[in-house]
Amino acid sequence: MPEDFSREEWDGILYFLASITNMIGKVLHDYEICGTENLPEGPGIIIYYHGSSPLDYAFFVNKLYTTGKQCFSVVDHLFHYLPGIELNRKVWKLCLTREECVEILKKGYLVGIAPGGLREQNYGDNTYRLVWGKRKGFAQVAIDTKVPIIPMFTQNIREGYRTCGNIWPMRWLYELTRYLIFPTFGPIPVKLRTHIGEPIPYDPNITAEELVEKTKTAMEALRDKHQKIPGSIRRALWERFEKHHKTR
């Protein structure tokens, strides 16, 4: 992992790009974040739902950057094979290994992880069920580094971007290669609102498996509080024009 976590020569460029991304999020989806008071001042692991597109997470990270906070991002293993990955991981603050996550957390930064990853992106639908399988690496990292887990969910992300091709041949190819991204259509200019839940504090007496279940419960509670299921494109479009957000 590079030692220069915040290279000054990139700061101006990154701030400009983040501001442009914020503007795109506002124009496309009237994007906003609720619950920033739940973000810790120090390190923590943000666990988020992976929709058909990770654009909501990109909006979140860039909006956070313009407020002075940095969030590193764990990316799928297929990124290992992309050209220029070394430069990209330095500039865009990407994590490729568990060891890098531990190092970054120990330096006091936030780290964003979508346990469902590409599988959740491909197989998810407007019921917003979690597709995590048996993944528990994030929980073990949280225990090893003694940091809180912060659940995060973006309302209407499945209505803004829809996955196509969830049929047997596509699923077979994905399971065979683990590199296949199902076709996605969008953007649909629905309201996107990212909700940050209350942190799950470090508990020395909990196992990784128990922490995974605790995180799932918190994620599902956050989803059920803010997302009407099944999701509806028409309703999500209407929510964009509501003058006042009603907390359910």
**At 83, which helix (H) or strand (E)?**
none
How many angstroms from the chain centroid is the CA of residue 112?
6
User: What crossing angle do the helices spanning 55-65 and 8-29 adopt, rounded to 10°?
Assistant: 130
What is the C-alpha to C-alpha distance for residues 109 and 44, in angstroms, rounded to an integer? 7
* 8 Å CB contact between 76 and 180: no
* 8 Å CB contact between 67 and 18: no
| Helix, coil or strand: residue 164 | coil
Tell me if residue 50 is catalytic.
yes
Active-site hit among 50, 80, 244, 245: 50
Q: Residue 93 — left, alpha, or beta (φ > 0 → left; ψ -120 to 50 → alpha)?
A: left
Q: What is the DSSP string of 186-217?
A: -------EEEE---B---TT--HHHHHHHHHH
Residue type, 248: R
* 8 Å CB contact between 15 and 98: no
Which residues are tagged catalytic?
50
